Chain A
C-alpha cells in the first residue's frame, strides 16, 4: 500500500487509470466512483475513460479544470443522451466534496470500494445516511455522506453484482449488512443534483 513520494495534498486524487469519474484516497485505495445508469435501456456504465463514441452514445464529453493536487477537478460525462457533470474539491487534505448534476433519464450510482486493499469492510447507516469504510490493516476509516438520502442503497461483495441488480431489477438493494462495495442510487426523476462529502481519518 503506497504513499511513496506523494505529498499530503495529493492523497485524494483522480488516480484510477480505468476511470476518470472516480476519486481515490491513496493510502487506503478507497475509491468513490460516479456510475451512470440509463433507466430506459437499463444500461450501467461505471468506468469512463474514452471520449464519446457516437455509435454507443457514451463517454467523456469534456475535461474541465484539474489542478495538480486535485483541489478542484471538473469533468462531464455522457450516456445515451444525458449529461452528467462532476465537480470535486478539497477543503483540506483529508476531505473531498463533490457536486454531481444529472438529467431526468439517468440515475447516478455512487459506488464505494477499494482498488487494491483487501482488508476492509463497508457498512451503511440509513438513519445517518453515512457509508463507512474501515481498513483493518492501518486503522483508516473513510466516511461518506450525501446531502440527500439515496432512493436505493445496497452493499455487495463485488461491483459486478451492482451492475447485475441494476440491469435486472433497475435498482440496487440492501441484501447485506456489510460488504466490500457500497452503492447509493439517486434517481434523475426526483433530483437533478447531489452533493457528497468524503472524509478520511484514523479511527480504528
Chain B
C-alpha cells in the first residue's frame, strides 16, 4: 500500500490535474444563447450512465430513479436510448455504441424493438418512432467504424420490415401508430399504447383520434411517423 500512501499525499493535485485536463478537452459552448449548453448535457448524461447487471452492459437510462424505483433495476426506452447514443457521440463514442447495442439487442423474433424493456415491463405490443438507422448512420459518420453498422444493420432491417407489416394493416400505403394484442403490458391494444408508440405519450395531437381494433392502429396516418420511416430507410 505504499503506492496508496503516495497517492493520498497527492489527492488535491490529482483531482486538480484531472479536472483541468477534462475542462481543456471537453466539448464546450461558450457565449451566446447556448452558453454552457454542451457542458450541461454531457455532465448530466455521464452521471446517468450506469452498469446494468441484469444484462451485463453499460447504458444510459432516462434517469437512475426511473430505472431503479419505477422499473425495478433497469429500463431501456427505444428512441430515448437512441437519442442518448447521439448525445454521447459528441464526447464518447464508446458509450454511444453501448447505448446503440442496448436497443436492437432486445429485438423480438417478429421484429419489434419494444417501446420499453425493463425488469417490470416489456412492451411486446409496440415500439417507438423509427430513428435508429439514422442515428447509427450519424455515429458512423463520426468515427467511420463499420463494425457497428455491420452489427446494427440486420437487426434494424428486420425492425424496419416489421413496421410496414404491422402498422399498415389498413393497406393505404401509409403507416399508423398502433399496439398489438400480444405481451402483458397493461396498456396493450389501446389508444394509449398507440400514443406511447408515437413517443408523444400524452400529446393532445391525438385527442380526437380513434383506435381501430380491427387493424391494431390509430385511424391516423401520422406525417411524423411516415417521414421518420422514409428517413430511416
A66 touches B64 (CB 8 A): no
CA distance A68 to B60 in the complex (A): 12
CA distance A71 to B25 in the complex (A): 13
A17 touches B50 (CB 8 A): yes
- B135 at interface, CB cutoff 8 A: no
Centre residue among B10, B15, B53, B65 by max chain A CB count within 10 A: B15
- Which of A10, A15, A65, A95 touches B43 (beta carbons < 8 Å)? A65
- A67 at interface, CB cutoff 8 A: yes
Total residues of chain B contacting the partner, CB 8 A: 47
B7 touches A68 (CB 8 A): no
- A6-B58, A17-B50 given; A89·B94 CB < 8 A: no
- A61 at interface, CB cutoff 8 A: no
- Which of A75, A95, A115 touches B7 (beta carbons < 8 Å)? A95
- B26 at interface, CB cutoff 8 A: yes
- B88 at interface, CB cutoff 8 A: yes
Total residues of chain A contacting the partner, CB 8 A: 51
Q: How far is the CB of A49 from chain B (nearest CB, A)?
A: 4
A197 touches B8 (CB 8 A): yes
B50 touches A15 (CB 8 A): yes
- B12 at interface, CB cutoff 8 A: yes
A87 touches B15 (CB 8 A): yes
A97 touches B11 (CB 8 A): yes
Residues of A within 8 A of B92 (CB): 68-69
Residues of chain A in range 99-143 having any CB-CB distance to chain B below 8 Å: 99, 115-116, 128, 130, 143
- A15-B51, A197-B8 given; A95·B3 CB < 8 A: yes
- A40 at interface, CB cutoff 8 A: no
Chain B residue nearest to A51 in the complex (CB): B65
Residues of A within 8 A of B12 (CB): 99
Chain B residue nearest to A69 in the complex (CB): B92
CA distance A105 to B24 in the complex (A): 37
- Which of A17, A72, A199 touches B18 (beta carbons < 8 Å)? A72
Query: Which stretch from B66-74, B77-85, B201-209, B215-223 is at the chain A interface?
Result: B66-74
B68 touches A71 (CB 8 A): no
Residues of B within 8 A of A74 (CB): 19
CA distance A2 to B56 in the complex (A): 6
Q: How far is the CB of A135 from chain B (nearest CB, A)?
A: 16
- A10-B94, A17-B73, A65-B19 given; A143·B57 CB < 8 A: no
B50 touches A16 (CB 8 A): yes
Q: How far is the CB of A3 from chain B (nearest CB, A)?
A: 9
Q: How far is the CB of A47 from chain B (nearest CB, A)?
A: 9
- B111 at interface, CB cutoff 8 A: no
B7 touches A91 (CB 8 A): yes
- A151 at interface, CB cutoff 8 A: no
B18 touches A66 (CB 8 A): no
B64 touches A89 (CB 8 A): no
Residues of chain B in range 20-76 having any CB-CB distance to chain A below 8 Å: 21-23, 26, 42-44, 46-47, 49-53, 56-58, 61, 64-65, 67-68, 73-74
- B174 at interface, CB cutoff 8 A: no
Scan A13-51; emit 1 where CB is below 8 A from any B CB, else 0: 111111010001010010000000000000000000110
A26 touches B15 (CB 8 A): no
CA distance A72 to B4 in the complex (A): 18
Q: How far is the CB of B14 from chain A (nearest CB, A)?
A: 5
- A145 at interface, CB cutoff 8 A: yes
A5 touches B57 (CB 8 A): yes
Chain B residue nearest to A195 in the complex (CB): B11
CA distance A34 to B18 in the complex (A): 21
- A79 at interface, CB cutoff 8 A: no
Residues of chain A in range 133-180 having any CB-CB distance to chain B below 8 Å: 143, 145-147
Residues of B within 8 A of A116 (CB): 53
B15 touches A49 (CB 8 A): no
Excluding A67-B46, A89-B18, 14 further A-B contacts by CB distance (< 8 Å) are A2-B51, A2-B53, A5-B101, A6-B94, A15-B58, A68-B46, A68-B95, A72-B18, A89-B19, A98-B11, A99-B15, A197-B7, A199-B3, A199-B7
